[in-house]
Structure 1
Amino acid sequence: MFGEYPAIKIVAELEQHNLLPAILFRTSRKQCDIDIEKLSGARDLELNAERSKALVLEVEKVVEKYSFEESVVYNHPHYKALLHCGAGAHHAGQLLIWRLLLEELMSRGVMRLMVATGTVAAGVDFPARSVIITAHSKRGAEGFNVLSAAELQQMSGRAGRRGKDAVGFCLVAPSRFADARVVLEVSRRQVEPLTSAYFAAPSTVLNLLKFRNVDDLKYTVSKSLAAFLDRKHAAGMRAEAERMQDEVLSSQKQSVEQKKKSEKRVRRRQREADALEGRQERYLSSALNGLEKLGHLEGASLSAKGYWAAELCTSLVLELAEAIDGGLFYDLSHLELIGLVGSISGDSYRRYFSLSANPIRSELFAELSEHVARVKNTYERIAPFEVEVVPDAALTVITWAQSESWEEFSSLLRLGGVAEGDVARLVTQAADHLNQISKLHATHTELARTASEARRLLLKPPLSEAYLNE
């Protein structure tokens, strides 16, 4: 049995049975890229002259339609594989330009195979005749977990093209990672119930306090889906506690000691229900208390610091506000501001460019870390995500700001084994944070001007502002 079912064999088998075009789902970006590299060298799968010419023509049309940077497309490492066999890798490690190109080509019917990660299945906006599942599980924060019914439905739902196919085909490529019996069992499950991702995050609460008072926020939280679901689950827990209580009262066989234990379980269940029912309101209360500790609130109203900080409509509003209030961002060059903001815009677990000396002084990173730690300690129990200072992220955005072209920059990324998509996301997030700082012209005039110029240095083709707004 295969460790990973070979993409070359999959394409050959599907073509033999007229089941192309197809979407091949893999569990990692690396596997997607490996598939494309192997397909690029498969002589038996080379497109004939007519299909190759049609593909090139459609590529030119897409490039012209969206005004893509030609060098980004034609110099992409997978471009030759695309022309060779009509296959491409679609995952978050690729530039948005490349993913949009592949989506357009797939929709136009000139591609054979799209290799994608299962995590982007919900975002795939094009159908295929067939879908290939190559794993019945995916990696999560705590190891590998079997696919949920919703995840499998998202992937299998791509099979079948409206107006072209009477039926779509979802196939399982057997391997030690893909047990068709497990996939069949998951396909028979009911889709998981809707849950809420709502969270009264401190940054959101601060932004909302520009327009609403505390009572308005409490009302909004009470009417949220999260609060509704909490109340629903709490009611179920109370009903369970009542049943347990009835059993204790009606039981004639339990000893006095057993009844005491049973009544203790009932009381614990009731306390859990009470805690669940008031959870969202407690989150809001914790957010407000933290904002007061950080100096954004005076009583139930925004302080002077809170008013200008509330203009920063970003997930890093608290971290940026602390750095600004502490004077860290004053008297910095454009590149230093880009670097410091970029250092908290990325993810600590991702690889960024690190093959040259970092121009940011270590004491600046240390001071920024203190501001980040202050926010973290204030919201230790309810922080929605972890913010860390990542020096390599700072070096990456500075290197991009100094690069003459994406072609020059991407060659450095390949040397460092850095995914272009991760860097593009880092750059655009840093640019967004700088854009928010640039709105503080009324209270922090010089800083706002520096931030505006720093943002301009980052947003250049293919990450230009005009393209990102499309």
Structure 2
Amino acid sequence: MYREYPATHIFVELKRDNLLPAILFRTSRKQCDNDIITLAKSRGCVLSPQEQLSLRKEVLKVIDKYKMDREIVFAHPQYPTLIQSGVGAHHAGQLLIWRLLLEELMSRGVLRLMVATGTVAAGVDFPARTVVITAHSRRGNDGFRLISASELQQMSGRAGRRGKDTVGFCIVAPSIYSDARVIAEVAKKPPEPLRSVYFASPSTVLNLLRYRSVDDLRYTVSKSLASFLDQKEADRLQKDAKQSEAELSTKKADPATQRRIQKRIRRQLRSAEALRKRQLEILNRSLEGLERLGHLEEGKLTAKGYWAANLCTSLVLELAEAIDRGLFSNLMVEELAALVASISGTKHKTYLSIRQNPISKDLFKEMQKIIDDVKEAYEKPPGIQEVFLSIDAATTVVSWMEAESWLEFAGILRLAGVAEGDVARLVSQTADHLHQISRLYETHPELAACAEEARGRILRPPLSEVLAATQLEQKEG
């Protein structure tokens, strides 16, 4: 059995049985890119000259529609394979304009095979005639785990095009990581219960306290979906504990079994009690953290709290402390962008490290101290990513500011093994945080102007043009 079912074999079989276009799901970006390299070498995947010409025309139409930079599209490493074979890799490591191009080509029916990671199933709507699943597990933060019923439904749900196919096909490609029996069992499971990702974050609390009291906040939190679901789960645990107590009183059991059941009952009751209080405890943590950092006094916003409430970002505490302590004062545009970028990255992502960062190390030391002080003052709920400092992220953004064009910059990224999509996301997140700082024009006018200039310097084509085009299309639609 194959360790990983070859993309060339899948493509040839689907083509023979008239099951194209198809989406081939892989578990990693590297697999997607390797599949494209393999397909590029296969003679059986090559389009006829007339088909290639037709595909080129469609590519140009998409470029014109979204006003994309032609040079960036044509210089993409996978562009020759796209035209030659009508296949492309779609994953978060790709630049937005490339992903958008593939989505449009798939929607127009001219892309024969899209190799994608499973995450694309949840975020993009472009069905195909056939979907091929190549793994029954998925990589998570804690290693590999079995795919959920909802994830399988999202992937298999891409099979079948409205108005073109009377039926869609979902195929499982066998390998040591892809067992059709396991996937069949997953398909029988009901969807996962609805979960709420809401919590009373410091940013939310600051904004609401401009118009409401602390008591109002407690009432709002108690009526939230998160509280409702917690109460529901607490009721279930309490019910199970009562059933166990009833069984324990009516059935005879040896002392060891009785102790084990009593221990389980106590654990269930403690968990139920904790769930009933969880959302209010999260709110209290935010209130306590804000008070320790000087944003609140006796449940009301201080002067610092009022201007910090304008920073509608997950980094509100870190940015507010940096501003209040004067770290961002009298900085050059590049320095401000670098400092903000240093706390805007995603952990475990690779950023540029092949050049020395031009920003003073003392600035980063002070930023790290701010991060540590905020962490000591405010305890985040479990599962929420901690803020970390990445000098490589700062180097990446400064390098982009200094680059003449994305083509030049992309060459450096490929040399360093850095994914363009990860860098685009870093730049976008940094620009969002800078935009929030630029809103402080009433209390910190010079800093706001510097932040606005920094944002304009990093949010330039191609990172801005496709975003603007898609937003315009949404408004017109």
Cα deviation, 1:148-167, whole Å, max 9, x if unaligned, reads 11111100000000011111
Correspondence list, 1:102-251, <5 A: 102-251=102-251
Return the offset for 1:248.
4.0
Q: Structure 2 vs 1, CA of residues 72 and 211 (structure 1 numbering), >3 Å: closer, same or farther?
A: farther
SS at match of 1:210: coil
Return the offset for 1:303.
0.7
1: CA distance, partners of 2:453 / 2:115: 39
C-alpha contact 1:297 1:303 (8 A) present in aligned 2: yes
In structure 2, the partner of 1:380 is: 379
Cα deviation, 1:77-132, whole Å, max 9, x if unaligned, reads 11101001000011000111111110000010111000000122111210000000
Cα deviation, 1:45-86, whole Å, max 9, x if unaligned, reads 110122111111111111101111111111111110100100
Instruction: Provide structure 2 residue ranges, at least 5 long, that are not aligned to the other structure.
Output: 473-477
What letter matches 2:178 in structure 1? A
In structure 2, the partner of 1:312 is: 311
Is residue 342 from structure 1 mapped to residue 364 from structure 2 by the alignment?
no
In structure 2, the partner of 1:292 is: 291
SS at match of 1:31: helix
Q: Give the TM-score of the pair, scaled to structure 1.
A: 0.96
Q: Structure 2 vs 1, CA of residues 50 and 364 (structure 1 numbering), >3 Å: closer, same or farther?
A: same
C-alpha contact 1:459 1:465 (8 A) present in aligned 2: no
Return the offset for 1:466.
7.5
Q: Structure 2 vs 1, CA of residues 240 and 63 (structure 1 numbering), >3 Å: closer, same or farther?
A: same
Task: Report which stretch shifted further, 199-208 or 94-103.
Answer: 199-208
In structure 1, the partner of 2:271 is: 272
Q: Structure 2 vs 1, CA of residues 266 and 145 (structure 1 numbering), >3 Å: closer, same or farther?
A: closer
In structure 1, the partner of 2:361 is: 362
In structure 1, the partner of 2:399 is: 399
Return the offset for 1:331.
1.1
Return the offset for 1:193.
1.6
Seq. identity, %: 59
What letter matches 2:302 in structure 1? S
Is residue 80 from structure 1 mapped to residue 80 from structure 2 by the alignment?
yes
SS at match of 1:278: helix
1: CA distance, partners of 2:177 / 2:402: 44
Cα deviation, 1:197-256, whole Å, max 9, x if unaligned, reads 12222222223222322122212211111111111111112222222333344456677x
What letter matches 2:340 in structure 1? V
In structure 1, the partner of 2:475 is: none
Q: Structure 2 vs 1, CA of residues 243 and 188 (structure 1 numbering), >3 Å: closer, same or farther?
A: closer
In structure 2, the partner of 1:63 is: 63
Cα deviation, 1:409-461, whole Å, max 9, x if unaligned, reads 10110110100000000001111111110111111111111111111111111
C-alpha contact 2:138 2:147 (8 A) present in aligned 1: yes
SS at match of 1:295: coil
C-alpha contact 2:67 2:466 (8 A) present in aligned 1: no
C-alpha contact 2:438 2:448 (8 A) present in aligned 1: yes
SS at match of 2:138: strand
What letter matches 1:350 in structure 2? K
Q: Give the TM-score of the pair, scaled to structure 2.
A: 0.95
In structure 2, the partner of 1:327 is: 326
Return the offset for 1:381.
4.9
Task: Report which stretch shifted further, 14-23 or 444-453.
Answer: 444-453
Q: Structure 2 vs 1, CA of residues 181 and 260 (structure 1 numbering), >3 Å: closer, same or farther?
A: closer
